[in-house]
Structure 1
Amino acid sequence: MRIGFKFLILVLIISTTVRDRMATADNAYTLDTVREALVRQEDTIVFALIERAKFPFNSQTYDQKYLEIPGFCGSLIEFVVKDTEIVQAKAGRYENPEENAFFPENLLSSLVPSYPFTKILHPGAASININKSIWKIYFQDLLPLFVSSGDDGNYAQTAASDLSLLQAISKRVHYGKFVAEVKFRESPQDYEPLIHAKDKEGLMKLLTFKSVEEMVKKRVEKKATLFGQEISLNSSDDNNGKQKFDPSVASKLYEKWVIPLTKEVQVEYLLQRLD
């Protein structure tokens, strides 16, 4: 009897612990917490834009012929990104499902104790990585929009600021996986028929809220205007009202790339959700 009673108590303790962990996991990602995370990520992106705008284009950073490093073929930006990702992977960065590497094929296993990150995503989520598209858009389309032409020799610093902005944009775009999961849990009856039918267009329409997108674009531009001001204590100073970069770039970034790519990630995630 005593053994049976002790066993019953143990089962109750275990089941309570599991239930509490599940509740914690569910509460970690709700529509409200996801929205808060997206708003905070706007701050990171805007500050990263400001940091990159400090430097001119510095074309040598992206010149494939600039580096002469034995055993390495590529530009300085590729060298910095690849080596930084390797170090960060060893430190456990990519154990977090919110992080996605630009060169995942180069990563090594984490060397630090693992952290029990909340697991709410479908197991196939890890395969969704559109950083190649982000990389191409960043250098071909985004940079020319807001950095000045010229060369100041700060190539390593330029590459470091590029990396910070790339990672911020990547995290925001791939956060679409969590957005999709939370939305699916809120209204599975709306999504399941479209997923079964592999209806990408229908899913995209279901995920699109133009009024929300307009609000986001206005908010990031306002943040860029506020955060990017040249501050002066002298009201008559010529710098008063000047901007570190054009605030409309932040809005264009979201309109043309961040929002569409995030929805692309959401659709790809939902198509796997019922597998």
Structure 2
Amino acid sequence: MNEQLLLGNIRGVLIRLEETIIFNLIERAQFQHNAKVYDPAEVAEATGGESLVGYLLHETERIHSRIRRYTSPDEEPYFTDLRAPFLPLLSFVENPIKPNDININPDIRKVYEGEIVPYICRPGDDGQYGSSAVSDTSCLQAISKRIHYGKFVAESKYLTHQDEFQAMIDARDADGLLEAITDRAVEKTVLERVRLKAQTYGQDIGGDTTQLKIEPKRVADVYARWIIPLTKKVEVQYLLRRPDDE
């Protein structure tokens, strides 16, 4: 098995992404909802029809695509009209996952803008549109990477239980696959770890520990309600489309 698919290595990647996501959510929660940054009508003339967040996300991806960010198997862009890299492509000796076109970023962006932001931010408008959009872009990219890393998780689980998983794939048993990839004990551990990290990172060390920058339970809820379910959606899609090695 490719070392990138070893559970210890996957766990390390997911924990690092956890911290990135938590810090980004804490940063976004410092600003109010600022719904205008998601409304294309507010800036359509300047952005070609995109919202402020969509515009910044698109322009960021256009730059990152030039330095081959989206040639990595663990990265998926939100936009499809990106330019080719000017850096020479890396030669992967072995791609740890099977070639695939799974990209659920439209779903991620929809739930992030419509559900996650209103859940973690105070309602209202504080005029901090640029800062909010910058934070949103960081959040969207980190959350996307974490969710699409489910492909690596799925491949690792498949190789560990190949006969069982292949039988469900052949039967197109999506419900069976969802149950097989679900480890409720691990999910409980993840949620508690995320809550504790949010509680630690969200306070001023040496200051007033009663004033948190974000309610830790809300960060754990982001994982429980959206990140973990969407990750499992990616895992099931990947498995159902995975070509049989035989």
TM-score by length of 2: 0.93
CA distance in 1, matches of 2:113, 2:22: 17
Q: Deviations over 1:11-58 (max 9, x none)?
A: xxxxxxxxxxxx8xx123311101111111111110111111121122
CA distance in 2, matches of 1:79, 1:91: 19
Q: Deviations over 1:216-242 (max 9, x none)?
A: 111101110011112335xxxxx3321
Is the CA contact 1:195–1:274 (under 8 Å) kept in the aligned structure 2? no
| 1:114 equivalent in alignment to 2:89 | yes
The within-5 A match list for 1:39-78 is 39-69=15-45, 72-78=48-54
Larger radius of gyration: 1
CA distance in 2, matches of 1:259, 1:92: 27
The within-5 A match list for 1:6-155 is 26-69=2-45, 72-103=48-79, 105-117=80-92, 118-123=94-99, 125=100, 127-155=101-129
Report what 2:191 is aligned to: 217
1:60 Cα shift? Answer: 2.3
Structure 2 residue ranges without an equivalent (≥5)? none
Cα distance change on mapping 1:157 and 1:184 into 2, 3 Å: same
Structure 1 residue ranges without an equivalent (≥5)? 1-22, 234-238
Is the CA contact 2:44–2:50 (under 8 Å) kept in the aligned structure 1? no
| 1:175 equivalent in alignment to 2:149 | yes
RMSD: 1.6
Secondary structure in structure 1 of the residue aligned to 2:42: coil
CA distance in 1, matches of 2:44, 2:107: 27
Cα distance change on mapping 1:42 and 1:71 into 2, 3 Å: closer
CA distance in 1, matches of 2:36, 2:61: 21
Q: Deviations over 1:183-233 (max 9, x none)?
A: 111221121111111110111111111111111111101110011112335
Report what 2:229 is aligned to: 260
Q: Deviations over 1:124-166 (max 9, x none)?
A: x2x1011111111111111111111233322122111001011
Is the CA contact 2:44–2:51 (under 8 Å) kept in the aligned structure 1? no
* Count of aligned pairs between the two proteins: 243
